[in-house]
Amino acid sequence: MDYNSNRKKLALPEYGRNIQNMVDYLMTIEDRDKRNKSAQTVIDVMGNLYPYLRDVAEFKHKLWDHLAIMSDFQLDIDYPYDLPSREILTAKPNQVPYNQHHIHWKHYGRTMELMIEKALEYEGEEREIMIEQLANHMKKSYLAWNKDAVEDKKIFLDLEILSEGRLKVRNDLQLADAKALVSKKKKPQQNKQSKKKK
């Protein structure tokens, strides 16, 4: 039996074994003109596999690149485009620079810490409003990660710690009820008439 696992590994499996066989056959054609014409035919067949991409910009360029890759850059023909180098295909991507900020409590997040810093710029009534909004948002974030109820005192203490004691919560401040902060999605209401019919 001839199993795929015993056959040569496909460079681009999305084109399948038959296209790879065509590319391998191109390598055996000695006449350059015939090889160029045959390569164009293989490109047309490859394009027919993805007809919805025909209008996509540079689709033909991509097909010629794929032909070169499938021939392991050994196919000697007149390419209409510049070929990619083998080094580009094997090069590792650049490392993505991630922010390495220390977050005191991850359930509040980095944005909360930035908002607390911004609230320090305000004075008087505006600051009191900001503190109330921040505390309610902190309670909501806390409840999103920890389903247990949380006392307002805990939120006030966390706010003071995050602000390094620079934001003081007034004694009479009351936060929104936990049920109001973490409201469940309402089910779509059915029409009353459709309920009666049932």
What's the rounded Cα separation, in Å, for the pair 57 and 34? 28
Hey, what are 57's tokens?
């910009």
Q: pLDDT tens digits for 86-97? A: 888 888 888 888
For the chain, the structural domain boundaries read 10-89, 109-180
Q: pLDDT tens digits for 110-152? A: 889 999 999 999 998 999 999 999 999 999 988 888 877 888 8
> How high is the pLDDT of residue 109?
87
Rounded to an integer, the average pLDDT of 2-19 is 85
What global pTM score does this model have? 0.50
> How high is the pLDDT of residue 121?
92
> How high is the pLDDT of residue 172?
83
- In this structure, are residues 175 and 155 in contact, taking their beta carbons and an 8 Å threshold? yes
Q: pLDDT tens digits for 56-98? A: 778 989 999 999 999 999 999 999 988 888 888 888 888 888 7
**Residues sharing a CB contact under 8 Å with residue 22, sequence separation 6 or more, in sequence order:** 42, 45
What's the rounded Cα separation, in Å, for the pair 171 and 174? 9
> How high is the pLDDT of residue 42?
94
Helix (H, G, I), strand (E, B) or coil at 193: helix
Query: With 70 as the cut, is the pLDDT of residue 180 above it?
Result: yes
- In this structure, are residues 194 and 149 in contact, taking their beta carbons and an 8 Å threshold? no
Rounded to an integer, the average pLDDT of 180-197 is 60
pLDDT tier at 187 (50, 70, 90 boundaries)? Answer: low
The closest of 195, 150, 198 to 175, measured between CA atoms, is 150
Query: With 90 as the cut, is the pLDDT of residue 193 above it?
Result: no
> How high is the pLDDT of residue 175?
86
